[in-house]
Chains A and B, each alone.
Chain A
Amino acid sequence: MLNCKKVLLEISNYLDGDLEEDLKRNIETHIRMCRHCKVVFDTTRKTIELYCDGKLFILPEDVRARLHESLRRKWLAKRGGA
């Protein structure tokens, strides 16, 4: 039977699908019975989801405009026309 410490040490490998089937099953059994470990697993997964949420992040319009202006200028200088 795995203890909490061993389970938590494998959290990253578990989330990456990087575990042997036996160990994965033992971890899932432990999580079903251990509220603390379940919270850590669920909130770690949620942490990654929040950072991946593209809707939370916008490229400021002025930053975008400056990028396109310098690229167009560079392109014109090199190629002599767009």
Chain B
Amino acid sequence: MTESSQPAVAKDESLLVTEAKAGSYEAFEELVNRYEKKIYRLGLNITGNREDAEDVLQETFLKAFEHLGAFREDSRFYTWIVRIGVNEALMKLRKRRAEKMVPMEDAVGDDGEVIPREFTDWKPNPEQQLTRTELEGILENAAKALPPTFRAVFFLRDVEELSTEETAEMLNLSTGAVKARLFRARLRLREDLSKILKRG
């Protein structure tokens, strides 16, 4: 969970939290600057919708601001803020799904097998052969094709690097269910990306 864009001598996170609690807007803003990109990406990845992702970003930091005094600092600020972000994103998703009457889960459930069908190796360095926008579009479309809870598990575990236990707790799943969904999400994303990125 490192953020490479942080300055080399970054101010300690817990010190920033203490200062923000004491009333320093600059300290709170520094915390926002550190994690805003991650929270927006998290919102976009879970909801699959840019408008919802902006709402998730706004609501997450507004709630963080409102409840900062209650943050007990027994976990990292980042973990706390991700938890708020995940809840906001899942609420958005449930609302959208309810409107469209689409279930959160895959219709097949967890029992269906994921059998790899693409065995052709990829072209080397797709990130150098495609423009950033092209590759971002390919990744976004593949993620959107996953059932929402698979997408949430994949992004929490592989991108946000939360543990299986943390992911299970946030999504109200068993650790076994997290592992099963992660396995299927990874293989399904690989299969979809292979169709586009394989050697021609």
Could you tell me which A residues sit within 8 Å of B by CB distance? 8, 11-13, 15, 35-36, 39-40, 42-44, 46-48, 50-59, 63-64, 66-68, 70-72, 74-75, 78-79, 82
Of A36, A57, A66, the residue contacting B58 (CB under 8 A) is A66
Query: Any chain A CB within 8 A of the CB of B158?
Result: yes
Of B4, B61, B186, the residue contacting A12 (CB under 8 A) is B186
Nearest CB of B to A69, in Å: 10
B187 touches A44 (CB 8 A): yes
B179 touches A47 (CB 8 A): no
Instruction: Please tell me which stretch of B7-15, B35-43, B92-100, B104-112 contacts chain A, meaning at least 4 of its Cβ atoms lie within 8 angstroms of it.
Output: B35-43
**List of A residues within 8 angstroms of B159 by Cβ:** 51-52
**List of B residues within 8 angstroms of A58 by Cβ:** 37
Task: Give chain B's interface secondary structure class.
Answer: helix
- Interface size of B as a range: 35 or more
**List of A residues within 8 angstroms of B54 by Cβ:** 63, 66-67
Indicate whether A82 sits within 8 Å of B25 (C-beta atoms), given known contacts A39-B120, A53-B127, A67-B36.
yes
13 A-B contacts (beta carbon < 8 Å): A36-B119, A42-B121, A43-B190, A44-B186, A50-B127, A50-B135, A50-B193, A54-B4, A54-B37, A58-B37, A59-B36, A63-B57, A75-B28
